[in-house]
A and B are shown apart, each in its own frame.
Chain A
Amino acid sequence: MPKTILIDTTRCTACRGCQVACKQWHGHEAVPTKQTGTHQNPPDLTPNNFKLVRFSEQKIDGRVWWLFFPEQCRHCLQPACKATSDNYVDGAIVQDEATGIVVCTEKTKELTAEQCTEIIDACPYNIPRRNDKTGELTKCDMCIDRVKAGLVPMCVKSCCTGAMNFGEREDMLKLAEQRLAKIKGEFPKSDFEAMVWCDVSQTCSMLDQDDLNVIYLLALPREMYHKFARKESKPLNRADFLATLTQPLRSIMG
């Protein structure tokens, strides 16, 4: 049974515990940054940032919305990155059978920069980043070392408000449904809630949950959070995946 992370953005306070905990666990170098007029830093995922809290702000009908999107690899059930990379280097990107975790291995060093770009382009969520110093392709590994030892991923462990949850896929899907139902207002409201209720029942959604092992719950339309929150091309479903196998294999040697 695959492991799944549920990220309920309606609870996220952008404390960035996850962003820092991820770096510390992975021993990543700090990246030099500048203040450019936003709290989001670094500006994008890097080979030293597998997790990044994205900030976006809007004012709609006089109400301010400050949206937080803790971005990371979605660990697709049928990962397009792996399918693409398999065309070049076997075992560069692998998917753990027991957990469904998708991992970039050291063998990604054998991929060329162009092949890496192709893999990144194949990702509907624009996640992997190439470390130009080492030649490795990098991304979130869902702390597979911890998961294999019975520990939860570091980002989930550090989450202050229960925005991030980790468990069996089935349980997480159930939890996601419950949370979504709550936001949709399918439960009776308390007197106190009724006085200040802010209705997002029409706009809330779950992101691509059938295809992913990292599921997001959003209050507002996904494009308001982040350009790549919405998938621009679908991740592969099983039929697509099988179709890739019938394509002529490109030479590993390029």
Chain B
Amino acid sequence: MTQHWIDIKNANAVLIMGSNAAEHHPISFKWVMKAKEAGAAVIHVDPKFSRTSARSDLHVPLRSGTDIAFLGGMVKYILEKDLIQKEYVTEYTNASFILGDDYKFEDGLFSGFDPEKKKYDQKKWAFAKDENGVSKRDKTLQDPRCVYQLLKKHYERYDLDTVSSITGVSKENLLKVYEVYSATGKPDKAGTIMYALGWTQHSVGVQNIRLGAMVQLLLGNIGIAGGGVNALRGEPNVQGSTDHALLWHIIPGYNNTPTTAWPTLDDYLKANTPVTKDPKSVNWWQNRPKYVVSLLKGWFGDNATPENGFCYDLLPKLEPGVKYSSMFMFDRMYAGKMKGGIMFGHNPAMSFPNTHKVRAALQKLDWLVMGEVHDTETCSFWRGPGVDPKKVQTEVFLLPSCQRGEKDGTTSNSGRWHQWHHKGYEPLGQSKSMGWIVVEIMKKVRALYEKEKGTFPEGILTHDWIKEYDAEEMAMRINGRFTKDVTIKDKTYKKGDHVPSFPSLQADGSTSSLNWLYCGCYPEPGKNLAKRRDHTQTPMQAKIGLFPNYTWAWPVNRRIIYNRASVDVNGKPFNPALPVIAWEDGKWIGDIPDGPAPPMAMEKGVYPFIMHTEGHAQLFGPGRVDGPFPEHYEPVETPVTKNPFSSQLSNPCVDLFSSDKDVYTKPGDPNFPIVLTTYSMTEHWCGGGDTRNTPYLLEAEPQLYVEMSHELAGEKGIKNGDPVIVESARGKVEAIAMVTVRITPFTVQGKTVHLIGMPFCFGWTTPGVGDATNRLLPSVGEPNVTIPEYKACLVNIRKADKVKELAI
């Protein structure tokens, strides 16, 4: 979230799209209801009428996978009616930037596409530069090659008739949403967007979010109170686990993983440290060398020296252009190319698409280590339905993990609050924290390498490995320490002192920090700011519900990021009634601003979007692999055979797989005419391991169901409560029919399209509840991040004569 949970109350309009917030983030609705009570309009755009819709002013059913068409129509509406926040768009976004001659868009494809490799040459999308190397701009927004004009042209095609016909949303509803939400373009009005996996889990997932962000920028809604682009993070600590990079493509703090293209630290830093010639651009990533060197010092301690490139050479290097994400990992595993691995708190035998493939892939491993609270479908894959344990040679180690209340540590909530939780009592039985497990495994591995040597022992032994797992010590290592006596701006720090905040991190090896974003959370020994539970706030902060002394938020305790965009170029809040920051008497008051520099119009003033090299928010985003402007493409499996906006039916860059288990249904296949979308629910969590084994929760939601319209049920002769079989090209799943008015058939391009929805939390280790819905889903990867397309695929449904997965 650019904001935090409480800030939702400051919105005049709340657009919940790609999220079922009331069910999946129930506490968020405390603040949605506060906004509503104060007169805000709450709009829910989602295929299904859910508990969120029940509390919204307006529910707009949308065919799954057509969000870009819907929002593209909104962009067209905003631009044609000139409802943008002019000053914001001109000054703070790249609307005025002029594109180079190579950029083109024709019939659904941008310039630079290589159909063989399914890849774009992104260099074709560069801005035109002046003689000083600064991007050319036209602040009148009239130049036909400026971003504003090209944006207008791009979405000209997204007229009401076409958008209505492809999304299945009535024109009346489209207009209602566009009108209400665009009204937040006034400087003193705020609209917030709440999204979650309903936007991300599509083959166009990243572009869904980009287009949401673009709408917010056009309306001047980012940085202000009650605005923002708010990813309602799915998991308890998915914010923190992403910051700390349990991911292949980055190392902690959003730094790229080294590749063979950057064999030395110098090569790495040169390639990853952007340069700007515009003196008003902060270009925050110019600090990257400080963060990366401090990370290497954190990992390798005294062994990391300037002379040895801070041990950069020891790190694994990726092959450029190769993707190592989980869907590719399982594809390799299924091909027999993986030997062993460790999983913690993850249940892919339930939660991954094309689960049949995942379950088969696991059987090809030599060994598998599972750190888990429960014996899940993944732990016990070798005794799953249809599996003969005698034929499975995998050795499996199930390590009992303790529960949250049995350990100390921090998690980061969706608003980036860094919250310490305290150990309440000793872990039950012999269970241990996952941190302890990791540290102990590595201690044993290190001992073996010390004793026996082997292949590349220095890669392991050079690390400064913690002696015993201790959350406090790790929190201090994350914050960072000085590695020698250093004087910064008249202040002297001793070796071992904590680094007070990330501006003090150094690129010369004199500081360590396992994650620069969290530097400042533990500024001195005994001062762990994540433990603060203090409500102190100024009246200005109280007005917008800011609690700066309650725990700590990254970065530098800033609660609303990009808050310099909440004020005009002179530092005056766009909305004086709800200021986030304000420039008064030569200093900033309110939230922690994005850097101490004075307002933009002043000497030494800076642009507000400090993380971008150009200092401006990107209406035109040349960084995404599938295009600089979001374009509507159908899901890989779609009932539609003709994209009304171009002849390019699906995302041209999408990742597909070619194993014998990767079967895809052709668009418009009459055997599978129904759209399936999948989701979670309030009472269960992800694959369900934790919640199915909590009897109170299983009592409230006991078995797998499929929600469908009365119309579809009538066509198929299905009655409410009947057991049914849902079938796709990949498999069959049993479920109980829930026939409901909350799902309505869509009229798409003049034809009726039925949509059904299913949760995915019920699995065979809990007897009689059903088994993985994800057995139906295809392996489809969004090209930027390889997130699977869980939200739309093609299936059929019929009444079941008998069932074996469900107790009835």
Contact = CB atoms under 8 A, between A and B. Distances in A.
Interface stretch (A94-102, A126-134, A188-196): A188-196
Contacts of B224: none
Nearest to B741: A59
Contacts of A23: 696
Interface in A80-134: none
A246 interface: no
Contacts of A58: 741
B26 A15 contact: yes
A35 interface: yes
B39 A192 contact: yes
Contacts of A33: 698-700, 702
Contacts of A24: 696
Nearest to A197: B57
B717 to A, nearest CB: 15
B51 A13 contact: yes
B738 A37 contact: yes
A100 to B, nearest CB: 28
A56 B176 CA distance: 27
Interface in A143-174: 160-162
Interface stretch (B27-35, B72-80, B282-290): B27-35
Contacts of A161: 29-30, 33, 55
Contact of A66 (B700, B702, B742): B742
Interface of A is mostly: loop
Contact of A198 (B30, B52, B57): B57
B41 interface: yes
Given A11-B33, A35-B705, A192-B13, A66 B39 contact: no
B33 A35 contact: no
A161 B41 CA distance: 17
A37 B713 CA distance: 12
Contacts of B740: 57
Interface string A187-223: 0011111011110000000000000000000000000
> Most chain-B CB neighbours within 10 Å: which of A33, A182, A189, A198?
A33
A19 B33 contact: no
Contact of B682 (A15, A32, A64, A195): A15
A15 B22 contact: yes
A19 B700 contact: yes
A30 B13 contact: no
Interface of B is mostly: mixed
B180 interface: yes
B254 interface: no
A196 B700 contact: no
A23 B682 CA distance: 17
Contacts of A160: 26-27, 29-30
Interface in B269-291: none
Interface in B682-724: 682-683, 695-705, 720-722
A249 interface: no
B463 interface: no
B696 A30 contact: yes
A34 B703 contact: yes
Interface residues of B, number: 53
A189 B40 CA distance: 10
B796 to A, nearest CB: 20
A16 B699 CA distance: 12
Contact of A195 (B30, B41, B705): B41
Contacts of B180: 192, 195-196
Contacts of B701: 35, 39, 41
Contact of A11 (B13, B55, B183, B700): B55
Interface magnitude class on chain A: 35 or more
B741 A42 contact: no
Interface in B133-182: 176, 179-180
A17 interface: yes
B808 interface: yes
A14 B705 CA distance: 18
B41 A13 contact: no
A68 interface: yes
A41 B700 contact: yes
B19 interface: no
A34 B807 contact: yes
A104 B183 CA distance: 55
B54 interface: yes
B472 interface: no
A190 B697 contact: no
B58 interface: yes
Contacts of A39: 701, 738
A34 B54 contact: no
B514 interface: no
B53 A35 contact: no
B23 interface: yes
A176 B758 CA distance: 38
A76 to B, nearest CB: 28
Interface string A17-28: 101100110000
Contacts of A65: 54
A31 interface: yes
Nearest to B191: A192
B95 interface: no
Contacts of A17: 26
A15 B51 CA distance: 8
B736 interface: yes
A31 B702 CA distance: 10
Contacts of A16: 682-683, 700
A210 B30 CA distance: 29
B736 to A, nearest CB: 4
B739 interface: yes
Contacts of B26: 13, 15, 17, 160
A247 interface: no
Nearest to B702: A33
Contacts of B43: 196
Contacts of B721: 35-37
B14 to A, nearest CB: 10
A191 B39 CA distance: 8
A253 to B, nearest CB: 38
Nearest to A60: B741
Nearest to A160: B26
A192 B183 contact: yes
A161 B49 CA distance: 19
> Most chain-A CB neighbours within 10 Å: which of B180, B695, B702, B705?
B702
A57 B30 contact: no
A46 B179 CA distance: 48
> Most chain-B CB neighbours within 10 Å: which of A19, A64, A198?
A64
B736 A64 contact: no
B455 to A, nearest CB: 52
A23 B180 CA distance: 42
Contacts of A196: 41, 43, 57-58, 176, 180
Contacts of B13: 192
Contacts of A36: 720-721, 736
Given A13-B29, A15-B23, A160-B29, A57 B742 contact: yes
B682 A30 contact: no
Interface in B41-75: 41, 43, 49, 51-55, 57-59
A59 B709 CA distance: 12
Given A14-B51, A36-B736, A20 B183 contact: no
Contacts of B741: 57-59, 64
Contacts of A191: 183
A39 to B, nearest CB: 7
B772 interface: no
B737 interface: yes
A189 B701 CA distance: 39
Given A15-B26, A39-B738, A190-B39, 7 more contacts: A13-B29, A30-B696, A37-B736, A57-B740, A57-B741, A64-B53, A66-B53
7 contacts: A31-B699, A33-B699, A36-B721, A66-B51, A162-B30, A190-B40, A196-B180
**Nearest 7 Cβ contacts at the A-B interface:** A190-B39, A30-B695, A37-B721, A35-B703, A37-B720, A196-B57, A15-B26
